[in-house]
Structure 1
Amino acid sequence: MDDYSSSSSSSSSSLMGKVDEGDGALLTAVLPLLKLLCLALIGLILVHPRTQLVPKSTFRLLSKLIFATFLPCLIFTHLGTSISYTNILQWWFIPVNVLLSTGIGFVLGYIVALICRPPPELFRFTIIMTAFGNTGNLPLAIISSVCHSVKNPFGPRCYGSGVAYVSFSQWVSAILAYTIVYHMMEPPLEFYEVIHIEENGDEEQHVDDDEIEIEIENPEPEVRGNNDLSQPLLVEAEWLGMEDREAEQFKTPFIARLFNGTSELPLPDSPRSLRCLAEPKVVKKIRTVAEKTPIKHILQPPTIASLLAIVVGVIPKLKSICFGSDAPLSVITDSLDIMAGAMVPSAMLILGGMLAEGPNESKLGTRTMVGIIVARLLVLPLIGIGVMTLADRWDLLIAEDELYRFVLLLQFTVPSAILLGTIAGLRGYAVSEASALLFWQHIFAIFSISLYIFIYMKLVLSFEN
């Protein structure tokens, strides 16, 4: 009888232990999102039209401050202390993972566009919004929230290492945004009309690419500058240095005009002459596209901070001068670290302010919007688990580093980048659709990210056991 009671009590205690372990894992997954949700809720209350405790213009200035100061400080102070030449060789899969998640997102976006059949002018937009995720601010906020507790599952170095892992991918995201995304967000040529062709007196009219003015048949709300409070808050100041003087060139379908004009070229008499004449023309067009690509704007403050942190981190003498309690420049780096602490709460306040505006009207259609949300927030993370499983099996990941795996999985899980809304506003393409889609994605992401953080923690911590 005693043996039975003792065995019964031991089995009950083990069962209760499993239940407590499960509840603890669930709380560990949900609490970080609840903390961020509380911060976003404060921002929503502050900027909501019914309360208007803080003017919308203040939130725009705060978004500039995040992008130009808080985020670079966070990247430099934590990436600089963590990175070294050895770490660069070990962390190579982080930027590759960004490219993988984006490439898989492209395929999913194309499938969504084929199945859901959005309006033709929004076909490319559907692919873009599915492919490009928020690999910067939101992952940093999630890592900060997960590591906030002393009892976090990743140990005492959770915050510094997690921020370093996320920051190491910033330069890849910047290159993708300011090259591929910029040109893919070009307004479709077929939905524009030629309204004016310059004439030269009584001479014969000559049509040239530079003389054609193009106007949208159903124009989107124009972005008249950073002080225009009529534009959505998501069109934030993440594209510094591009002001009204350059705004018009952003809103023209430059590449479509350039390459569609090849049909008007004179046809040569022989294949050989065609090859000789076509090659310089193509090279010229490619060079023109490269000149029109805002490559110089890739070097924005967060990207500069990433590159500077890498340079300082891989040179031991520079690292010892900048970081450490006895470092000569420790006063400066400590000051930067203090400013970096404002990045996460400020970013969440901005997100709450964006949600306070509510969804704009959209021509995208409910079916396409649901398709993008499901593909981006439910299907892509599942594929990410498969990618990480294969990468771990092929020994491509750092051994016994659960936080490293968690950050890589997180890159597949986040909603579309808010920067896409900024680019949409600059290019005058699908501004309302971007605003509406980003709104609903972030609402649904509250539940999807909580679910997948729970799953990820179960997976990555299982490797430890």
Structure 2
Amino acid sequence: MRAKKLPLEFSEQVCMDFLALFIEALMPVLEILLVTAVGLVLGMERINLLGAISRQSLNSLVFFVFSPSLIVSDLADTITLDSLGTLWFMLVNVLITFLIGSALAWILVKITRAPQHLQSPIIGCCAAGNLGNLLLIILPAVCEEDDSPFADSSVCSTDAEAYAVLSMAIGAIYIWCYVYPIMRIYANKATNDTGTHGATTRDNISGENSYLHSEIGTEPLLPSEGCPSSEECMDQVEFHFTGSERKAKVMFLEKTMLHLKKLTGHVDLKKLFAPSTIAAIFGFLIGIVSPIRKVLIGDDAPLRAIYNSASLLGEPTIPSMTLIIGANLLRGLQGAGVRPALIVGIIAIRYIIMPSLGIIIVKAANHFGIVGSDALYQFTLMLQYALPPAMNIGTISQLLETGESECSVIMLWTYAVATFSLTIWSTIFMWLVS
């Protein structure tokens, strides 16, 4: 009889432990949901405290003042040369999330045959997760719970802040360095298709090279030169010009270099060196270089007033960004319709496929000794795969003037589902690492 009761008692204990972890994961998500709901209410026309003008002003404050101050102060305080050597895999992990998300988005676009003007926001929403304010809320909140599966609350909170801020800084760099150029390429393709009705050919002359665009206006071609024999042109690719039977032959190496040049041509240095990116650079510099750190940080630091001021300016970042999320989601209720298949596809990518792959990747990295045994660090790496789309995607869509209202609809549904998805995946991740 005792042998039969053991599995039952064991299963009951597992269920109780899982329920406790579920409650731990639910609390920070509820905090986010409540603050987001306040932002949504403030954005309503009857109240209009976060209307279009107010939201734009607050967004500018967050973009130019609050967020950079938070990044530079927290990075300088929490990141050192030793800790950066331990946390280096996070740079790779975030990049992997972006690469997997964009690849899955490309597959979704092909399967659903999404309209040209929607391809840019779809790529962005699948590629970039909200690596900023959500982690800054979730990680410290999990550490502060009484039944937290991680280390002592004070140690856990310090490490959680370091992981969250590093994630935010890396995400800001990748969004403007990787996601923005890709979204710009797809946005230009949609603009060209709309402007030419898919039937015009344009000649662009840059320096000494002449580029001929195909009928969709996105594939630049180079004239084939220096190819005297057919044997030397085995790697050439044939392209058809619009309205002509002629064929232009381009050597494979030239075509590869041309695509690289095209991609780098879409990198906007002004956007790449956004305030958050510059703040991340200075934060790393202050934290890593010990003499600068001693001058700015510490009770006896001569210039501690500068650091304290930056830290004070960074405190409104989290509530401000969360309020903006709520106000922006209100636009999704009033926005244009998006096919259900696209929304379901994006939700499946962000909340089913990517978190599942994240478990495999982080567990494999742990198996090979890349990420160490810190449970909170592994939890953070896994959580980066399960986050909803970054709110910067909406900003980029506005800058590129493509799919703005549709992006709001996508954001509305993905953040609504994230309330349940984040709770479930956070519970599973804590159970796996605890």
Q: What band does the TM-score fall into relative to the shorter chain?
A: 0.7 to 0.9
Matched, 1:407 2:380: yes
Q: Closer, same or farther in 2 for the Cα pair 1:72/1:362, shift >3 Å?
A: same
CA contact (8 A) 2:343 2:410 kept: yes
Residues 334 and 172 of structure 1: CA distance in aligned 2, closer, same or farther (over 3 Å)? closer
d(CA) in 1 for partners of 2:48 and 2:121?
A: 33
Aligned residues: 399
Distance in structure 1 (CA, Å) of the matches to 2:142 and 2:36? 16
Which residue in the other structure is 1:83 paired with? Answer: 79
CA distance in 2, matches of 1:322, 1:151: 36
Q: Per the alignment, do residues 136 and 209 of structure 1 end up closer, same or farther by CA in structure 2, a change over 3 Å counting?
A: same
Task: Indicate whether 1:435 and 2:404 are aligned.
Answer: no
Residue 175 of structure 1, CA deviation: 4.1
Corresponding residue of 1:112:
108
Do the aligned residues in 1 keep the contact of 2:18 with 2:431 (CA within 8 Å)? no
Show the 5 A alignment for 1:117-196: 117-119=113-115, 122-123=118-119, 125-149=121-145, 152-154=148-150, 155-185=153-183, 186=185, 187=187, 188=189, 191-194=193-196
Give the alignment partner of residue 379 of structure 1, picking from 340, 353, 362: 353
State how far apart, in whole Å, the 2-side matches of 1:210 and 1:49 are: 49
SS in 2 for 1:209: strand
Is 1:103 matched up with 2:99?
A: yes
Q: CA RMSD in A?
A: 3.7
Partner of 1:249: none
SS at match of 1:359: helix
For residues 42 and 435 of structure 1, the distance between their equivalents in structure 2, rounded to whole angstroms, comes to 18
1:118 Cα deviation after fit: 2.5
Question: 2:369 aligns to what?
Answer: 395
What amino acid maps onto 2:401 in structure 1? G
Q: Give matches, 1:424-463, under 5 Å.
A: 424-461=397-434
Distance in structure 1 (CA, Å) of the matches to 2:258 and 2:329: 45
Question: Shift of residue 193 of structure 1?
Answer: 3.2
| 2:228 maps to 1:270 | yes
SS at match of 2:195: strand
**Residue of structure 2 aligned with 1:357, choices 326, 331, 353:** 331
Tell me if structure 2 keeps the 8 A contact 1:35–1:145: no
| 1:153–1:345 CA distance, 2 compared to 1 (3 A) | farther
- The one-letter code matched in structure 2 to 1:312 is I
Name structure 1 gaps, 5 residues minimum.
Answer: 196-205, 212-252
Equivalent position amino acid for 1:349 in 2: L
The structural deviation recorded for 1:134 is: 1.8
- 1:444 alignment partner AA: V
Q: Write the distance in 2 (CA, Å) between the matches of 1:116 and 1:326.
A: 61
Tell me if structure 2 keeps the 8 A contact 1:48–1:357: no
Cα drift, residue 352 of structure 1: 1.3
Q: Is the 8 A contact 2:68 2:279 kept in 1?
A: yes
Equivalent of 2:396 in 419, 423, 428: 423
1:149 Cα shift? 4.5
Q: 1:347 aligns with which of 303, 307, 321?
A: 321
Contact 2:140 2:157 in 1 (8 A): yes
Partner of 1:214: none
| Cα distance between partner residues in 1 of 2:258 and 2:15 | 67
1:384 CA drift (Å):
0.7
Change (3 A) 1:121 1:306: closer
Q: Which residue of 2 is the match for residue 229 of structure 1?
A: none
Take 2:41 and 2:117, find their aligned partners in 1: how far apart are those partners? 36
Aligned-residue offset at 1:131: 2.2
Q: Which residue pairs with 1:216 in the alignment?
A: none
Shift of 1:52: 2.4
Which residue in 2 is equivalent to 1:65?
61
Q: More displaced, 340-349 or 116-125?
A: 116-125
The question of 1:336 aligning with 2:310 is answered: yes
SS at match of 2:333: coil
The 1:207/1:381 distance shift into structure 2, 3 A limit, reads closer
Which 5+ residue runs of structure 2 have no aligned equivalent? 207-212, 237-248
Read off the aligned partner of 2:430 and give its amino acid letter: M
TM-score (norm 1): 0.75
Question: What is the rounded CA distance, in whole Å, between the counterparts of 1:454 and 1:180 in structure 2?
Answer: 31
Partner of 1:198 in structure 2?
none
Which 10-residue stretch deviates more, 20-29 or 324-333? 20-29
Equivalence for 2:32:
36
